[in-house]
Amino acid sequence: MPNITVFDPKEHHIRLVGSMKTADSIDYEFRAILDTGAPWSEFSDQFLLAVGMFNSQNPPPAVRPSLQTQKYDKLVLPQVKICGHVIPKMLVYISHFENHWGVDALIGLDFFRRFRVTVDYKPGHLLTDPL
């Protein structure tokens, strides 16, 4: 039986809420967008810094004026839970996001390649079933 994640079909993007667990077993909630154009999931450097998963002495790279993220490092998160599924040791890119985007992560195709995924826009359901 697939997991059903409800989303608002009136929104411009499919917005998701997930959680990640740190190495100290502390859970943090994050706001994400499903991004089928992104080959890899990305987390905001500001979010990772705030939860203690990233410590950079260097300023983030300058963001090009566009809607693109600026990937500049990789990190293995101890555990990510999204769409009702738990992914241990998930490799993600660290990226600099614009603040006005209002998200902490982009969930890319690396996550969804693990599942049979159905997007049903009429009721606003994202169905995910492990392969």
Q: 77-119: per-residue pLDDT in tens?
A: 999 999 999 999 999 999 888 888 899 999 999 988 999 999 9
Give 131's pLDDT tier (boundaries 50, 70, 90): confident
Identify whether 40 is part of a domain.
yes
Identify whether 72 is part of a domain.
yes
Instruction: Give dist(CA 110, CA 49) in Å, integer.
Output: 23
Biggest CA–CA distance in the chain, Å, is 46
Please give the residue range of the domain that contains residue 32: 13-114
Please give the structure tokens belonging to residue 80.
């990510």
Instruction: Give dist(CA 131, CA 123) in Å, integer.
Output: 24
pLDDT of residue 2 exceeding 90, the answer is no
Identify whether 61 is part of a domain.
yes
Question: Is-contact 117 126, C-beta < 8 A?
Answer: yes
Residue 73 confidence (pLDDT): 84
If one counts the domains in the chain, the total is 1
- Enter the pTM of the model: 0.87
Rg (CA), the chain: 15
Mean pLDDT of the chain: 88
Identify whether 37 is part of a domain.
yes
Question: Is-contact 103 44, C-beta < 8 A?
Answer: yes
User: Of 36, 127, 51, 129, nearest to 94 (Cα)?
Assistant: 51
Residues linked to residue 17 through DSSP beta bridges, in sequence order: 31
Identify whether 101 is part of a domain.
yes
Identify whether 34 is part of a domain.
yes
Question: Is-contact 43 116, C-beta < 8 A?
Answer: no
Identify whether 99 is part of a domain.
yes
Identify whether 44 is part of a domain.
yes
Residue 67 contacts by C-beta under 8 Å, 6 or more apart in sequence?
none
